[in-house]
């Protein structure tokens, strides 16, 4: 094992490397990828002295276990989980010194879905198209983290805890503005906002899928494929809307009835299957 690296003892159900992603390449058919919970990821990086967009680990529900080479500084944020260093409890959302050869275990999420593990110096896997993010839709970037992987770590800097922002509070419905094909669904965004929804079990990094009383089409026929933006609320033939997240496709042919407010997108990363979801229409 290289000295400045983390060895993956247990990768959990889904752990990926993520950074600020690949924005601006949609015209080439390349999704943006990157952090789903931007606030939590950037906070973790700041806690260990990294640049806000540095590459780190994003876990999904089940946590991750890592062994250090050299001593490193880490921080764990996002979905709340137990943090252990060689079996002893460690602080949450604070810079944490992990000795050389120690085992860092981040447990299953007790609330929320995605936990972020930042290490001083960042995860330095090879970048693809300017990003180290794993894109679960297209397969770009490093593969999904697996047991036994050795993840190189860059040179760390001294953390600056006095310059760390706090995470925003979670409160109220998700805000949604009218989309370009609002008229294709009966009631449009108003109907979307009035309905009660729960998070579907097949939600993932591509989309937050909602389950409830199906939305009805007001316009029959098919659309040509159109460009899709982050947060687009698309309505497929089954009437169950989905909110496109970081690994979304760049085009699609189903009507986009609304677009989620960009400041609310991070909350979609932490909504668990079965949780209720409410939306509120706001002006575009």
pLDDT band at 167 (very low <50, low <70, confident <90, very high): low
Is the pLDDT assigned to residue 105 strictly greater than 50?
Answer: yes
Looking at the structure of the chain, the number of domains it has is: 2
Task: Count CB atoms within 10 A of the CB of residue 22.
Answer: 24
pLDDT (tens digit, 9 = 90+) per residue, 6-50?
999 999 999 999 999 999 988 888 989 999 999 999 999 999 999
pLDDT at residue 166 in the model: 55
Q: Are residues 185 and 132 in the same domain?
A: no
| Residue 138 sits in the same domain as residue 205 | no
148 and 181 in one domain? no
Q: Given the DSSP bridges, would you call strands 279-281 and 226-227 parallel, antiparallel or unpaired? A: unpaired
Residue 138 sits in the same domain as residue 190: no
Q: Is 54 found in the same domain as 106?
A: yes
CB distance 112 to 272 below 8 Å: yes
The rounded percent of the chain whose pLDDT value lies above 70 is 94
Q: Domain end: 163, 197, 226, which one?
A: 163
Q: Is 53 contained in some domain?
A: yes
pLDDT of residue 160: 60
Please tell me whether residues 9 and 122 are part of one structural domain: yes
Least confident segment among 104-108, 171-175, 238-242? 171-175
* 14 token code pair: 């889904």
pLDDT tens, residue by residue, 249-273: 999 999 999 999 999 999 999 999 9
CA–CA distance, 115 with 131 (Å, rounded to integer): 20
CATH number of the domain enclosing 215? 2.40.100.10
Structural domain that includes position 64: 5-163
Alpha-carbon radius of gyration of the chain:
20
Residue 233 inside a domain? The answer is: yes
Query: Beta 251-252 vs 197-199: how paired, if at all?
Result: unpaired
Which of 163, 189, 223 is the endpoint of a domain? 163
pLDDT at 155 > cutoff 90: no
Which domain-ending residue is among 163, 195, 229?
Answer: 163
Same domain, 203 and 145: no
- pLDDT tens digits, one per residue of 40-87: 999 999 999 999 999 999 999 999 999 999 999 999 999 999 999 999
In a domain, 169, yes or no: no
Is 168 within the bounds of a domain? Answer: no
């Amino acid at each position: 094992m290289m000295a400045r690296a983390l060895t993956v003892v247990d990768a959990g159900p889904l752990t990926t490397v993520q950074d600020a992603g690949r924005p601006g390449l949609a015209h080439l058919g390349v999704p943006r990828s990157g952090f789903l919970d931007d606030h939590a990821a950037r906070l973790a990086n700041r806690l260990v002295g990294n640049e806000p967009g540095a590459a780190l680990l994003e876990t999904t529900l089940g946590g991750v276990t890592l062994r250090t080479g050299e001593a490193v500084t880490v921080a764990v944020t996002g979905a709340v989980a137990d943090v252990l260093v060689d079996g002893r409890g460690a602080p949450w959302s604070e810079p944490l010194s992990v000795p050389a050869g120690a085992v860092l275990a981040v447990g299953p999420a007790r609330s929320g879905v995605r936990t972020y593990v930042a290490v001083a110096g960042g995860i330095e896997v090879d970048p693809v198209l300017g990003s180290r993010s794993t894109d679960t839709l297209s397969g770009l970037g490093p593969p999904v983290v697996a047991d036994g992987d050795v993840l190189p770590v860059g040179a760390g800097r001294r953390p600056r805890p006095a310059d760390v922002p706090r995470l925003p509070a979670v409160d109220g419905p998700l805000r949604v503005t009218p989309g370009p094909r609002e008229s294709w669904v009966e009631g449009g965004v108003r109907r979307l906002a009035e309905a009660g929804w729960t998070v579907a079990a097949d939600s993932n990094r591509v989309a937050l899928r909602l389950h409830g009383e199906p939305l009805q089409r007001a316009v029959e026929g098919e659309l040509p494929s159109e460009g899709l933006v982050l947060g687009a609320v698309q309505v497929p033939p089954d009437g169950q809307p989905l909110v496109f997240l970081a690994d979304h496709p760049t085009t699609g042919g189903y009507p986009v009835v609304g677009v989620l407010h960009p400041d609310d997108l991070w909350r979609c990363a932490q909504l668990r299957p079965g949780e209720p979801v409410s939306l509120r229409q706001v002006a575009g």
